[in-house]
Structure 1
Amino acid sequence: MWELDDITIRSASVSEMDNNVYLITAKDSGTQVLIDAADDLPAIEKLLAEGAQDSPAPAKVAMIITTHSHWDHVRALAETVKLTGARTAAGTEDIAQIEVPTAVALDHGDLAEFDGFSLEAIKLRGHTPGSVALLYRNAHGPSHVFTGDSLFPGGVGNTQQDPQRFSSLINDVERRLFDYLPDDTVVHPGHGKGTTLGAERPHLAEWRERGW
């Protein structure tokens, strides 16, 4: 758990693929955003209950944002929408591949504003056409970016050895993350452990050369 001044960030690892489900809770308002309802509704319910303790106000899930359309990131989406009544959002180009209706289409640079915090959409095209990262700018310390399957410790996401897709993804990751944000930015990926941009920056040229 990340305890920040205005929000808390909680996460749960679900499924045999170690998918990360993230929950952001505003401390003053109780407003919540869930990122990637990947699987395991009971685990998500537990996460929501824990997040409800982070604010004196009643907690309410305002939105469920899907970072990309791959099946392992949406298996509990329909159930979580039914449970919470929350609106849904995803990158514009991925919406057609998500079976659950999407209320909000996210394009690069869009700002989703909630009671107590906001998230900036950063398109990282390549893993899927509409993959989107979500940036929380922390006024009191390092910012946090939720990268889905587009950036991990050690490299970018899988592009199935397609040179065009890899070029698109590495270009977006370099320009829209590494050229845009400072080294202390915390990276929360779609699977496994997190990292920082500073820890990964020295390896960008290596990733380009190897092609994955």
Structure 2
Amino acid sequence: MAMTSDDGSGRPAEEHVWGGLTMWRAAVSEMDNNAYLLRCSSTGQLLLVDAADDAERLLRLVEGAGGDLRTVVTTHQHWDHHRALAEVVAATGASTACGADDAEGVPVPPDRLLAQGDVVQVGDVPLEVVHLRGHTPGSVALAYRDPEGPTQLFTGDSLFPGGVGNTKNPGQSFDSLIEDVTTRVFDVYDDDTVVWPGHGASTTLGAERPHLAEWRARGW
């Protein structure tokens, strides 16, 4: 891991290089939202996970990574995850994607609606779409199965260190979210899978798996 100054803002971007893919994580906004920029090593094409805020900073990060932003994936419809979406898309011409059931809540009409089992490409690199219902109806995660190391999983607000995302507001469902996280994440991916959430620090499925029963029992 390297910490690199992405834009002169004084807030460094965290850089990781995997097999075929480079990732930069930039924390933006007062809510410490994570925006993840992915670059295909062979083509140089870029994909952004959550244009959460601070479009100027994200655009400088894109430019520093080569400038070829093809796609912005919004993990879910909550306002703090797409505040910079319209400006980033207008500046780059990138296509947009989000979960089908969250499309009406995203300010830029999506070019692609995502569902469980879909694949999103960043250059030559496939990312698996995991639909995780409960925090919002259409929340999605993206999984990169690194051929040279652990799977990398971008979970939005559906999975964090210490539990699943918030489900205490109207229209949310803890039962749906814990079921999907169990059957579509923990039952599918290995313990060394790295979880990159929508806010804050990363974790691994191995670190969180022993607590699944505890999460079910407490209901959050």
Q: What letter corresponds to residue 208 of structure 2 in structure 1?
A: E
> Which residue of the other structure, out of 26, 30, 36, is the alignment partner of 1:16?
30
5 Å-filtered alignment, 1:189-208, equals 189-208=197-216
Q: Is 1:83 paired with 2:94?
A: no
Contact 1:10 1:51 in 2 (8 A): no
* Corresponding residue number in structure 2 for 1:170: 178
Query: Does the aligned pair in 1 maintain the 2:153–2:196 contact within 8 Å?
Result: yes
Output the CA distance in 1 between the equivalents of 2:26 and 2:121.
Answer: 24
- After superposition, the CA RMSD in angstroms is 1.4
Task: Assess, with a 3 A threshold, how the Cα gap between structure 1 residues 76 and 5 changes in structure 2: closer, same or farther.
Answer: same
Aligned partners of 2:104 and 2:135: how far apart in 1? 16
Residue in 2 aligned with 1:41?
A: 55
Deviation at 1:164, TM superposition (A): 7.2
Unaligned runs of 5+ in 2: 1-14
1:103-142 → structure 2 map (5 Å cutoff)? 103-142=111-150
Q: Which amino acid aligns with 2:175?
A: S
Is the 2:135–2:172 Cα contact (8 Å) retained in structure 1? Answer: no
Q: Distance in 2 between matches of 1:114 and 1:64?
A: 10
Q: Check conservation: 1:11, 1:47, Cα contact below 8 A.
A: no
Whether contact under 8 Å (1:19, 1:191) holds in the other structure is: yes
Letter in 2 for 1:102: P
Whole-Å Cα distance in 2 between the matches of residues 164 and 93 of structure 1?
A: 13
Output the amino acid matched with 2:94: A
- The 1:184–1:88 alpha-carbon spacing in structure 2 relative to 1, beyond 3 Å, is same
Q: Distance in 1 between matches of 2:142 and 2:57?
A: 22
Which segment drifts farther, 41-50 or 12-21? 41-50
**Superposed displacement of residue 51, structure 1:** 2.2
Contact (CA 8 Å) 2:136, 2:171: kept in 1 or not? no
After TM superposition, give the deviation of residue 187 of structure 1 in Å: 0.4
The residue type paired with residue 47 of structure 1 is L
Distance in 2 between residues matched to 1:94 and 1:64, nearest whole Å:
15
For residues 93-112 of structure 1, the aligned pairs below 5 Å read 93-112=101-120
Supply the distance in 1 between the matched residues of 2:105 and 2:147 (Cα, whole angstroms): 35
Q: In the alignment, is the contact (CA less than 8 A) between 2:120 and 2:128 conserved in 1?
A: yes
**Percent of aligned pairs with the same residue?**
54
Alignment of 1:51-90 (within 5 A): 51-52=65-66, 59-90=67-98
- Structure 1 runs of 4+ aligned residues shifted over 3 Å read 161-164
Asked if residue 155 in structure 1 is aligned to residue 137 in structure 2, the reply is: no
What is the aligned residue count? 206
Higher helix share: 1
Return closer, same or farther for 1:86/1:11 CA change in 2, 3 Å cut-off.
same
> Could you give the per-residue CA deviations for residues 71-124 of structure 1, whole angstroms, max 9, x where no partner exists?
000100000001110000000000011121100000000011342201111000
Shift of 1:28: 1.6
Decide whether aligned partners of structure 1 residues 163 and 31 sit closer, same or farther in structure 2, where only a CA change above 3 A counts.
closer
* TM-score normalised per structure 2: 0.91
